[in-house]
Each structure stands twice: as C-alpha cells, then as structure tokens.
Structure 1
C-alpha cells in the first residue's frame, strides 16, 4: 500500500477491461427482466407501463427507474430494435447482450464520479499527511466490490449506478452550500414533496396509484425470497426447520402444509410449521422501529458521521426485518458502512463479518460451473487485500481499550466460511446429487445471517454508545 496507490481512474480502466471479458458469462432472468422493461418503456405510453403483462417479468420498479429504462431505450434502438419489442420474450441477440452489459458499465461511471467527489470529504480523523490513503482504500474497495461484479456485471442489474446516486447525495450533504442538491438526490426535507409529485403525479392523475402500488409492494410473494436473504427471517426459518425435527419429542403441533413451503425455494406465501406466522405489518413495524431509533440519535447529534451511521442502520433495518428481501439488498448496508469502516478499529471489527457474510451470501446467484472460480477467487482476493489494508490503515482506539469482542467472533466466522463454501459449492453435489437441493442454500443463508446480525449488533453498540 505504501509504494503503490493506483488512482480510481487507473483502477476503473483495469476493471473495465476485466468486465469486458465477462460479456459471455452467465446472465440471470434479471437480464430478460431489464430487456422487457426497455421494451415496455420504449414502445408503450407511460399510462400503460404498469399494466403491461405480456411477460411474467412485469415492471415493478418506481417511476424514476422506469424513466431510466426509457432513456436507455433511446440508445438501445440503434443496437438492435428487436430487443424493444415487448413480444420478443427471452430475446438475447449478441447486440442485445453487448448493449445491456455496456449500459451497466457506462452508468457505473456515476459511482466512480461520486467516489472521487467523496475522497476529500472522507470523515476519518488521521494525520493530514496520510489522510488520503484510508479514504482512497475505501473508495477502491467500493468500486471494486465483489457485490457489484457478481450482481451487476454477471447476474445483471444496475446497482453501481444507483449507489452512485446514494454516495453523491451523501457527499453533497457534507457541505452547507450543496445540501439543497443533496436533498433532491436523497429526498430529504422539502425536496421529497417535489420528488414524489414528479414521480407519482401522472399516475395519480390517471387514477393508477392502486395498480402502481400493487406492483411496487407485491406482498403476495411471501415473507422470504426464493433464496433466503441472510436476515432475521432466514434465522427464523432455519429455527422452524429445526423445530420440525424436535417437535414430535416435545409434543409441539406441526402445520403439515408448511413442510414443503419454505424449503422448496419458490416464490409465494411462506408458511411456518411450528413458529408463528409473520405478517407484512409485523415486518413494517419492526423496520420502522429500528430506523426511528437511529433517526432519534441523528436528531440529537446532527453530525456528518452520525448521518452516515443513521443511513447504515436504516439499511440494516430494511434488510434484516423487511418483507420479501432479496439477497442483493445487502449492498444497502455494505456500501454506507464502508464509508465508516476505518473510523477506528472497533468499527472495522463490526465491518469484517458483514464484508464476509454479505459477499458470500451472493455466491448462490452464480450457480453455473464456469463462474465458480471467478466469484470465489475474486471475492477471496478482495477480502484479503482490502481487509488487510483496512487493518493497516485503521485509526487506533485508545491504548486502554480492550480488543473489540467482534474481532474474535470474526476470526471464527471466517474460518467456518472455508468448509461452508467447499460443501455448498462442491461436496453437496458429490454426496447427494440432486437430492436436498435447498440444503446448501439454507446453510449458506443461515451462516451469512449470523454474520450480518452479529455485525448489526456490534454497529448498534458503537453507534448508540458514542
């Protein structure tokens, strides 16, 4: 780290060259989802966007993202107009693949710009002569995150662009002269009125708000996603699976209809066999409660670091307690926490299990053999390089402060990850073939959930005790 400090621009060039090699790689159903959204927004009037259902992958993102897809569609027509036909289900010509992959890389430049703007404002208290080094390491860790590589550039989404908007809004909030602009990007204060009016006003005028909300909040999909996101409900579901085994000995009643609902991995209502059912209202109230706690702290101590902490905890709350959370949403926590990870050694102690769990939890998204080495080698390399660099650069805590408890937890947690990856990726197939296909997913999700929850507990203790 002392001799080689690559700039963000140089890393972006190298990363782009690597990502170009991934164009032929696996692409999930999300590729077809976004192609269909390109077609919907390009070929239909706005008032029909949220009613169109030729494909099962109906438009269910907010209006501003639909406008983003419309803008992309204006360029896509020059590559291959056929991709913009809503009837061309599953269409994936070479031109379509190249355009969609390239659009992710191009729009990700906003993330690069946001990180460059954030560098001088990094809220880390170091010797002024070396203060740029930790901020630089954090920026590089975010831009080169395995999360973006796996979710955006292989699995296919646009998280890099969206988190670029988030980081840019966080950066603008630091300076009094730019806070108004931050408000419009981040929807703070009065700005939210104009944003809501612009996004939902036309649909209110057309009387389509119920239809729009039914798409944006699909409660019928069930509490857990097909692959459990590593949150509180993954642990809850795992405990329910364990209780099925011990219930006869304890004379506990079992809901027979639930014996296949959770482990099938299908989208739909999740029914628990032993534990009480969870309703959307319960998840909403829990999410709101834990978010309000962090906002109260921000209200009483309105500093920039508290602002970052509150954003991180709001991300934790949404991910841990939300309804039908996708595993990809872990980036809601990892990205803002990264901006605080080097505040002192205790914060880094809480960040490590999140970094490991968050990225390992994304592995099942790429389940084909050619991508195994890519996701494994890249993720392990990222963890080794950046967690080692963070440890060398982190601000020390007071001399008389005992080593943070999460350091020991993290060491054990990381060690367990090695046999877990080996089992879920290789050994299970050898031992069981096609049987118990949900078992590796359950183990991966439950393991990762322990790391995410442990990280959350540690972060809460640091945030509320400061």
Structure 2
C-alpha cells in the first residue's frame, strides 16, 4: 500500500495486541471442547482417542487435528497439568485460559504467512497493493476475531492452509496445491464441501492437460500417490485397528436436524422464518397447522427439526440442491480451467454448502467468505456481490458472543472494519460508467441501512422492552436479515461467475 497507509506488520502488531487483551473475554463451550481434546490425546493411547466419551464433547475431528492437539498438549503440561486430565470436566484455570488463547494466536501464524505469500506472488505494484488490502481485511477480519479469539476455535490456521493451497493454484503449482488441500481435509472435514472444485480443476488442468483425451499419466500417478499417502498416514492406523466405522460416526453425525439451534443464515433460515409467519396467518389462508410441531419447530436439536405449515425438508433435498449448484460451477471450471475461475468455483461450492446444506452452523460462513475475499477486488461487480456477504456474514456471528461485556467490542470493531475496508476497496476498484447502476450496489445500500437499527434492536432494545420473554425473536430476525444478504450475494456472484 502507499506510504500513508499502515503496513502489514503494523496492523499485525495492533491485531495481536487486541487479541492479547481479549484473553479474559467470554469463551464458549468450544473452549472446553478443545481442552477435553488436549486431555484425550495427551492421556490416552491413540487407539482410545475416538472411543473416549467421559465428556459429551467427544473428539470428532480427523486424525491430523487430533495430532495437532497432542502436540499442543506437550506444551500445555508446562502451564497446568490439570487441563490434561480427562476427568476434569469444564476445567478453566487461568493457566489453562492463557495457554489455550495463546495457542490460537500462535497457530494463526499459518494465516499470516499465507497472506504474505498471496501478496508476494503478485506481479505488478498495483496488484500488490490490491493484494495487500485484501490480506489486511482477512488479517483483521471480525470473523476470525469473534470465532477464534473470543468464541474459541482454530479457523485461522485452517484457512491459512487453504490460502496456501489457493496461492499455489494461482501460480500453477497444482501438485502442491492438491497436497495441501488433502492435508487440510485430514485436519478438518468441513472442507469436503469445497473438494468438488479441487477435483474438477486438478482433473482438468493437471491430469488431462489441454486435450481431454491426452491423459497426463505421470501427473496422475504423482497426484494420486501423494493423496493416497496423506490419507494413509492420517487414517491408516485407525484402519489397521478396525476403528474406521467408529471414526466416521464421530465425523459425520447425520442424526442432527435441518437447522441449527440458532438458524444459520441460509435458505433454510428463510424457509423456517416463513413457516413461523404462516403459523400466525394460516387461519386466514385456510392452511393446516401441525400443532405437534409448534413447540419444536426448527429448534435444531438432535433429530428435532419440523415445520408447522410448510413441508418438512429431508436430507436428500438439501444434498440435491447443494449438488445441483456445485455441478453448474464445476462444469464451468472444467470447460474454462483458469486460476481465477478455480477460486470462483471454490467460493461457489462453499456458498452452495452453506446455503442449502443440512444442519449448517453459522461459523461455516467462512467457507465462502474467505475465498471470495481473494476475488472481491478483481471487478466492481464482484465487489458489489461481496459487500452484502461481508456485512451479513459478520453480523450473523454476533449471537456467538452474547455477553453484554463483549457487545461494544464486537459491534464497534465490525463497524470500524466495514467502514475502513469498504472505503479502501473503493480506492482500488473504481466505478466504471457502465457499472454505476449495477443492481447489487443498490441492494447493498438498502441492506446496510437496515442493518444498523437491526443491531440496536436485537442487541439492546429487545431486552430492554421484553426482558427474558420472546428471547428467540432477536435470533430469528438476525438470521433472516443475514440470510437475505448472503442469498443476494450468492445469486449475484453465481450469475457473474456463469456469465464471466
């Protein structure tokens, strides 16, 4: 960036200082989840990792992440051995809090290095400036701050691996890109949602070459053997002791309902919102109401998702809708295999899984948000599609941090991020005359205007007016509002991707 703008290192220092100040902040049950995983991997033989169930927060990530927890536990024992006892449920000494918070900050070095590489691979000064702004927006993202450093997870490290893989794709280092993605899948299986984009692109660009019938045998052998080796290292031991069925049952608990307890802002949130509205107007429209579903509709509990007026959605419908969107973009990337289209296909695969998937968590918004960030400044129309996603995606995370003490932090930080980076985006993506009336620009203005009173109502006024009554109402309004923004972003980018 220009000399008057803060440098990457300056922003890194400020971001780290803020994260250190947030060490005593609210922490979710995910804090105990990861503490328990530290204890399991440190205290038990690997043959018992996926069998241990003293805590309800059983180990349900792939083996590489389990090994990552084991590595962390080797350092954790110098802070407080109490956190490494499986029986110490909900253990939270200050030493434990400091260690786990610091482990997130240190592991985020992977994200930092990946963003630096994204900047370094750019060829021209202008492209480096654009990449620097994108990288700073991700480094300072409210999403990572809320999810990782307050709520508690390790998404920064995971998405750092993904960005390394995507930058390899941008520089045509396709073998290493595929290897890194395979490693990522063995850390966290949620990335399976974007695996179809990798499969289509690597097959077309690396294994088939220019001529579809000119199969690159050597490339196929190298890529195939590398991926098989990685999965063999990750899962081979558990296959040898006959625990693959048990491991898979932990990774894929399909008994959960369509919607999470707080509706992730996707198509099903709008569907559920419509169902709640129809309950109240059904008598006027002569619609039948399933009275048995009134108390349990869409609460997102295990095996407990039902609608009172609208038809219930079976898992196969969510799968088919997700697959339909992904197939469209996979055909595009297969016919036009270039790096920019590849990142677009990764974004759309993430979008499709978030919008139409089964029991989606709001934290999964990172799947489309992060790769779309790398593309957002290529074109004014892309930026117009990205902005509603950035606003809605970050606001949708607010319910993760519901304590009053963190309200000013999450709100002020997110609003500041939006103001600073939206202005920075405009400096490098000028508005062309032919694009001044682009539909998403108008949608964005209206959408952001509504967002401010919504935040004030859901975070302050609702509880001042109703107290503890109707406590699900703010969550429902937040979910429906954010779902509209994400849906608009998805539809806009989907059209741009197909017509571009």
| TM-score category, normalised to shorter length | over 0.9
Residue matched to 2:209: none
Counterpart of 1:131 in structure 2 is: 127
Partner of 1:318: 353
Residue equivalent to 1:117: 117
The structural deviation recorded for 1:81 is 1.1
2:119/2:128 contact within 8 Å kept:
yes
For residues 453-464 of structure 1, what are the structure 2 equivalents within 5 Å? 453-464=487-498
Aligned counterparts of 1:315 and 1:182: Cα–Cα separation in 2: 18
Partner residue in 2 for 1:412 = 446
Q: Does the Cα contact within 8 Å between 1:122 and 1:135 map onto a contact in 2?
A: yes
1:389 corresponds to 2:427 = no
Distance in 1 (alpha carbons) for counterparts of 2:301 and 2:4? 48
Moved segments of 4+, more than 4 Å: 263-268
Classify the secondary structure of the residue corresponding to 2:126.
coil
Structure 1 residues 9 and 3, CA, compared in 2 at 3 Å: closer, same or farther? Answer: closer
Once the 2 structures are TM-superposed, how far is the Cα of residue 210 of structure 1 from its aligned partner? 2.1
Deviation at 1:129, TM superposition (A): 4.0
Query: Could you tell me how far apart the structure 2 residues matched to 1:121 and 1:300 are?
Result: 26
Task: Provide closer, same or farther for how the CA distance between residues 400 and 418 of structure 1 changes in structure 2, counting only shifts above 3 A.
Answer: closer
| 2:461 is the counterpart of 1:435 | no
Aligned 8 A contact 2:23 2:101 in 1: yes
Determine the structure 1 residue equivalent to 2:204: none
Counterpart position of 1:171: 167
Deviates more, 1:304-313 or 1:265-274: 265-274
Q: 1:193-222 CA distances to partner (integer Å, 9 max, x unpaired)?
A: 333323222222222222222211112221
Map 1:276-355 → 2, pairs under 5 A: 276-355=311-390
User: Structure 1 CA distance, aligned partners of 2:357 and 2:405?
Assistant: 33
CA distance in 1 between partners of 2:464 and 2:266 (Å): 29
Q: TM-score, normalised by structure 1?
A: 0.95
Q: Secondary structure at the match of 2:405?
A: helix
Residues 1:396 and 1:194: Cα distance change in structure 2 (over 3 Å): farther
Structure 1 residues without counterparts, runs of 5 or longer: none
Counterpart CA distance in 1 for 2:453 and 2:435 is 33
The normalised TM-score by structure 2 is 0.89
Q: Give 1:203's aligned residue.
A: 238
SS at match of 2:304: coil
2:333 matches 1:273 = no
Of 173, 178, 183, the residue aligned with 1:183 is: 178
**1:453 CA displacement:** 0.5
Shift of 1:280: 1.9
Instruction: Specify the alignment match of 2:277 in structure 1.
Output: 242
Name the structure 2 match of 1:18.
Answer: 18
Question: In terms of mean alpha carbon deviation, does 196-205 or 418-427 score higher?
Answer: 196-205
8 Å Cα contact 1:240-1:275 kept in structure 2: yes
Q: Deviations over 1:347-368 (max 9, x none)?
A: 0000010000000000011111
Report the RMSD for the aligned CA atoms in angstroms. 1.6
Q: For the structure 1 residues 270 and 122, does the alpha-carbon distance in structure 2 shift closer, same or farther, using more than 3 Å as the test? A: farther
Q: Describe the SS at the equivalent of 1:230.
A: coil
Aligned-pair CA distance for 1:249: 2.0
